[in-house]
Structure 1
Amino acid sequence: MLSPTPRTRHRRMKDNGRTDRAFLTEVLAAGLVAHLGVVIDGHPMVVPTVYGYDDQRIFLHGSAASRSLTAGAEVCVTVTVLDGLILARSVFEHGINYRSAMIYGVPEKINDPDDLLYGLRLLTEHVAPGQWDYTRRPSKKELAATALLAIPLAEASVKISDGPPDDGDGPDAALGLWAGRLPVVATWGAPIADPLLPPGIEPPPHISARTGRPITG
């Protein structure tokens, strides 16, 4: 179970709140982009980035020169998956169906070489499963230019909305207007080769097999 704290307690739309830790894993598995919220020089900054995760931590990476990837100060990481639109009879009742997670914590900069490779592998495999073993591993110079942060998954809030409009049994039902849900279905397209790729080099199976498949789980 997710441990409630003053920051993660569900106050609004409590029915959408989830406390089972399995829902946090579901959101992290389905998403691809996280937004890292930090305060830099007294000003808020929100940075989009890819991520990886295991049972205990979420990993974020970027340039070692990035000011947003600073350890020691508290941050908030959000992951949101859009599942569809809720189209009601009135504008007031419109909304979206989504899966979202907010993670609070103090990031740790990963310096241990083995842990650094572990986190980068998780990040790579989350975005493109099979790619870590297919491509060249990072060199020492590349690792030195890379910052990797790990944030514990100890304090997190999860909300999921997956229902129909709320005005089906109200006065607006008499308007005779269509209402319902418009799902979002995103799929991977066919691979497009690098223009400088020599002829005869085909996409590896783990990449070509994703064509036409859903982007999110």
Structure 2
Amino acid sequence: MSTPPSERARVKRYNHIADYDPATIHAILDAMPLCHVGYVFNGSPFVTPTLQWRDGDCIFWHGSAASRMLESAECQDVCVTVSIYDGLVMARSAYNYNINHRSVMIFGKPEKLSDEEKAVQLRNMVNKTIPGQWERLRPVKPQELKATTVLSMKITEASAKLRSGQPDDDEDADFPVWTGVIPVRHEIGAPIPNPKNVPGVEFPEDGHKFKIG
């Protein structure tokens, strides 16, 4: 476990599973594109799920230019979380039930990208799901870029928590109930073609590189 970057990023509960190493944090962000953005709108707290992607030491997310989440988050304090559920940990007592997981929490003030930067990062977003897919798509239209906002936030205040292995319930070792772990995995299914596809257009070979988790 490395040193926390700030007091608010320091893990207080279960700090023995905390990790502040950038490589660990980046790996979790890269493994799970779904994030939740916590922000304040009109004095009330909201948490919005959205797609995130990483480029270097920044994370990005996008949405409609009319999005209240993006408007409320710009240049304001937000908290972005990413979580991966790896398994159910079945212990001998409800108190010791747990989950194996990898998670990241990031604090910061996101900034809006310019139109030029926005186009670059939207390309990164698409190509991080399936390599080279942006180049296969119909070129983006100027009005589409105008209708889209992309926020960027430095990964400077972040912490990860990682839990793996069996339950911690040695004090109940003699109690006769099954204990162990039920692994949880994200399954990538076979592609389902759109019946309106242009005849003869095949699924891209790079599409098989798509993965989560």
TM-score range, shorter chain: over 0.9
Q: 5+ unaligned residues in a row in structure 2: which ranges?
A: none
The match for 2:164 is 162
What secondary structure does 1:174 align onto? Answer: coil
What secondary structure does 2:69 align onto? Answer: coil
Give the Å deviation of 1:160. 0.7
Task: Assess, with a 3 A threshold, how the Cα gap between structure 1 residues 65 and 140 changes in structure 2: closer, same or farther.
Answer: same
* Residues 132-154 of structure 1 deviation map (CA, whole Å, 9 limit, x = unaligned): 22212321110000000001111
Give the Å deviation of 1:100. 0.6
Task: Assess, with a 3 A threshold, how the Cα gap between structure 1 residues 90 and 7 changes in structure 2: closer, same or farther.
Answer: same
Comparing 194-203 and 155-164, the one that deviates more: 194-203
Q: Does 1:205 align with 2:208?
A: no
* Preserved contact between residue 5 and residue 156 of structure 2 (Cα < 8 Å): no
Give the Å deviation of 1:38. 0.8
Give the Å deviation of 1:121. 1.9
Distance 2:96 2:103 in 1: 20
Number of residue-to-residue matches in the alignment: 210
The match for 1:22 is 23
* Preserved contact between residue 129 and residue 206 of structure 1 (Cα < 8 Å): yes
The match for 2:147 is 145
Give the Å deviation of 1:129. 3.0
The match for 2:178 is 178
Task: Assess, with a 3 A threshold, how the Cα gap between structure 1 residues 2 and 135 changes in structure 2: closer, same or farther.
Answer: farther
Give the Å deviation of 1:215. 2.7
Distance 1:179 1:187 in 2: 25
TM-score (norm. length: structure 2): 0.92
Amino acid at match of 1:82: Y
What secondary structure does 2:174 align onto? Answer: helix
* Preserved contact between residue 57 and residue 151 of structure 1 (Cα < 8 Å): yes
Give the Å deviation of 1:122. 2.0
The match for 1:109 is 112
Q: 5+ unaligned residues in a row in structure 1: which ranges?
A: none
Runs of 4+ that moved beyond 6 A: none
The match for 2:126 is 124
Sequence identity (%): 41
Distance 2:157 2:8 in 1: 9
* Preserved contact between residue 36 and residue 78 of structure 1 (Cα < 8 Å): yes
Distance 1:25 1:46 in 2: 22
